[in-house]
Every structure is written in structure tokens, then in C-alpha cells.
Structure 1
């Protein structure tokens, strides 16, 4: 399955396939109807403590990645998300997120993690 990432503020597209919001908090100013999600998967988002510690500080992204991957390793939710997306019959999973930074955010880490799970 192809895995992509996309900001929730970008328009949804049929090409997105299965759309899962991967933030613990609902994105400010975004309507649930406009987001066109298949699910809001809070359980794969970074923990509240980790999210607050990181606070989207670019210099902390390396350590954030290490800590977030450890949280993902300790959870069955990443594999469950992949399974739900596969069972949807869609060929693509789009991880939707709200962060302004498109390069250093949890969706980037999660995409790489899920790609690793698929290759096992």
C-alpha cells in the first residue's frame, strides 16, 4: 500500500485513498465535513507529553523521532491502522496532519515507520 502525508488544510482528493487524521488534537479551524476523513486515529499520534516536549522545535526533531518511534514500537495501533486501510479496498493511505512544518512533523515519522512495517 502506498502511504502519503498531507496537511488537513489542503483539499481532500479521491486520489488520497484512505484518509486518517494522525493528530491527538483536532486541527484548529478545520471542519470534520471538509476534512473528509475515514478515521481520526488518535492512538498513533505522539503522546501528549511527547507532543508538548517537542513543541515543533526543529532542533529537537531527531530526539522526537527516536522517542516517537519507541512509542510506536510499544503499540499495536500502527499495524491496526495499516490493516484497516488495507481492508478498505483502497490502494493508498494518506496520513493527514495539522502541523505547519511539512518536513519535521509526526506524520513524516509515522509514514516511514508504517513503510517499515510493510516491508517486514
Structure 2
């Protein structure tokens, strides 16, 4: 079965609207990003879903990341909201307006919409 990939960008959502605007292209360097495989219940739980891979964002101020060699299945992507680069920020997944939006990866699919926007706490 063909393997796929999941990725895109962790970025700073300066206006907190959950939309990556044209001026919101920068992202944090070296932030830990996790890829969890869903256990079949469709609800994210770090204790029961399987940690499949970890990676870090690129070191070029863009916040890009990529998981490769991913088997087809349902996945959750999260970034470390407690990273010391931005300790007062909170996280939400902006690609589908759900804090933990599940990705259903098909055989050979290269999914590039797993955007994760960070905003300052309270937004």
C-alpha cells in the first residue's frame, strides 16, 4: 500500500481569526509537532491514540514541518503549545476550525493542509 505524508505550517495568527492571512507567513523554529494515529473512536486522546511520529518545525522562520512515510489511516496533528519560544500562546488547528481536526489519509496521499495557528492567550 502506498505511503503518504502529512504536513504544512505552524504559524503565528497575529489577529486571532483562525485564518492564515497573506501577512501571516512566519512561524516558530524548532517547535515539536506530534502525529497521532486515531484508535478508531474519532476522539483525540493522547493516552489512547498511538504516537506515530514526531518532528520539529524548520529552522528558517517559516514554521514548516512534514511527516513522511505515513501509512493510510486517521491521524491527529498537534504542536507543543508549551514550547519555550512562546510560553503565553495557545494553539488551535486552523485547517478545519477544530482544535483537534482528524485527517483521513488515503493511500499515497500527500496532505498539505495541516496548518496550526498560534495566537496569544485569551484570543
After TM superposition, the score normalised by the length of structure 2 is: 0.27
TM-score, with length taken from structure 1 = 0.27
